[in-house]
């Protein structure tokens, strides 16, 4: 019997979560990715501004912001996926 909270397993064995009704039917993976990107834009802008303020160099601020954005986006997405696997009701 098909579990109503997941779609059939793709070849890699990782089930695709059911669409999220709060976000126009998008899967939780897509919602997590969208949240990751929008949050990173806000947080990275803040990092660039603070780095510029501290160093006085926009180039240094942008470099720090780029490194920070890449690292934290990957970490945040992994964190969201871990929570979705550990506590399915949260994802």
Which range in 14-23, 33-42, 64-73, 82-91 is most confidently predicted, on average pLDDT? 64-73
28-55 helix and 58-86 helix, angle to the nearest 10 degrees: 150
Render 36-52 in DSSP notation, one character per residue: HHHHHHHHHHHHHHHHH
- Rg of the chain (C-alpha set): 17
pTM of the model: 0.53
Q: What is the pLDDT of residues 65-75, one digit of tens each?
A: 999 988 987 89
| CA atoms of 22 and 31, how far apart (whole Å) | 10
* Domain residue spans of the chain: 28-86
Band of pLDDT at residue 21, cut at 50, 70 and 90: low
Confirm if 27 and 16 have CB atoms less than 8 A apart.
yes
């Amino acid at each position: 019997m098909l579990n109503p909270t997941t779609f059939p397993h793709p070849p890699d064995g990782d089930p695709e979560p059911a669409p999220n009704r709060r976000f126009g039917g998008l899967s939780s993976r897509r919602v997590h990715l969208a949240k990751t990107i929008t949050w990173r834009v806000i947080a990275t802008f803040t990092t660039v501004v603070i780095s510029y303020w501290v160093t006085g160099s926009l180039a240094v601020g942008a470099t720090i912001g780029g490194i920070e954005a890449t690292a934290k986006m990957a970490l945040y997405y992994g964190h969201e996926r871990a929570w979705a696997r550990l506590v399915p009701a949260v994802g």
